[in-house]
C-alpha cells in the first residue's frame, strides 16, 4: 500500500484505516478514523463526484465576523422598545482544539449559489458533524443519532 499511497490524491475511510494501521503498527478501524475526525485530530474531506449546489463561505473568528444593525422587536419592562443591537451575518459555532482550547467562530456565506465538484474539506459542524457521528455510532453499535440541523453546513 505504501507505493500505491504515493499515487493517490486522497484516501477512502477504509484506506485511511489501513494506512494508519501501518503507520502506528497496530489495528486502526474505520470507526477509529471517524473518531479521530470527530475529535479534531484528522481532517475529513468529501469527494463530490457529481456537481452539488452550495453557498461558499469562509470561517472567521467571532471578533472579525461581519455584523449588521437590527431593530429590537422586544420591549423593556416599561413597555418601551429595547435599544437596537447588532446581529452576526453567518453561522456561529465553537471550534474545539485537541489541547482543550475552545474558540468561537463564524462561517460567513457568499450570497451566490454555485456548483461545486471535486474534493472539499468537511467542516465538522452542523450536519457534517452529525453525519460522521451517525456513521461512527453505526460502526460501534452505539446509539442512534436523532439530532437534526435544518440550516447551515
Place of cell 419592562: 77
Residues of the chain below pLDDT 50:
none
In a domain, 47, yes or no: yes
Angle CA(58)–CA(60)–CA(63) in degrees, nearest 5?
A: 150
Please state, in angstroms and rounded to a whole number, the distance separating the CA atoms of residues 113 and 103: 28
In a domain, 152, yes or no: no
- Each residue's pLDDT tens digit, 129-138: 888 888 999 8
In a domain, 130, yes or no: yes
Range of the domain at 50: 1-55+116-147
pLDDT of residue 25: 95
Structurally, how many domains does the chain consist of?
A: 2
Reading the block at residue 28, the C-alpha cell is 486502526
pLDDT of residue 153: 62
In a domain, 153, yes or no: no
Q: Tell whether 46 and 71 lie within a shared domain.
A: no
pLDDT of residue 77: 84
pLDDT of residue 152: 55
Does the model's pTM come out above 0.75?
no
In a domain, 21, yes or no: yes
Please state, in angstroms and rounded to a whole number, the distance separating the CA atoms of residues 32 and 122: 17
For 36-62, give one letter per residue: b (16+ CB within 10 A) or e. Answer: bbbeeeeebeeeeeeeeebeebeeeee
Sheet holding 91-96, edge to edge: 57-61, 102-109, 91-96
- Each residue's pLDDT tens digit, 28-55: 999 999 999 998 889 999 888 999 898 8
pLDDT of residue 128: 79
Amino acid at each position: 500500500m505504501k507505493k500505491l499511497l504515493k499515487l493517490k490524491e486522497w484516501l477512502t475511510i477504509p484506506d485511511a484505516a489501513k494506512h494508519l494501521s501501518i503507520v502506528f503498527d497496530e489495528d486502526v478501524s474505520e470507526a477509529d478514523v471517524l473518531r479521530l475526525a470527530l475529535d479534531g485530530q484528522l481532517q475529513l474531506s468529501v469527494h463530490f463526484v457529481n456537481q452539488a449546489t452550495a453557498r461558499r463561505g469562509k470561517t472567521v473568528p467571532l471578533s472579525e465576523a461581519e455584523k449588521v444593525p437590527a431593530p429590537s422587536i422586544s420591549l423593556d419592562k416599561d413597555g418601551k422598545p429595547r435599544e437596537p443591537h447588532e446581529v452576526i451575518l453567518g453561522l456561529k459555532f465553537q471550534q474545539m482544539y485537541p489541547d482543550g482550547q475552545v474558540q468561537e467562530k463564524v462561517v460567513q456565506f457568499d450570497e451566490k449559489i454555485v456548483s461545486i465538484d471535486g474534493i472539499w474539506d468537511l467542516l465538522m459542524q452542523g450536519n457534517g458533524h452529525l453525519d460522521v457521528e451517525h456513521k461512527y455510532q453505526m460502526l460501534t453499535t452505539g446509539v442512534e443519532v436523532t439530532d437534526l440541523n435544518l440550516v447551515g453546513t
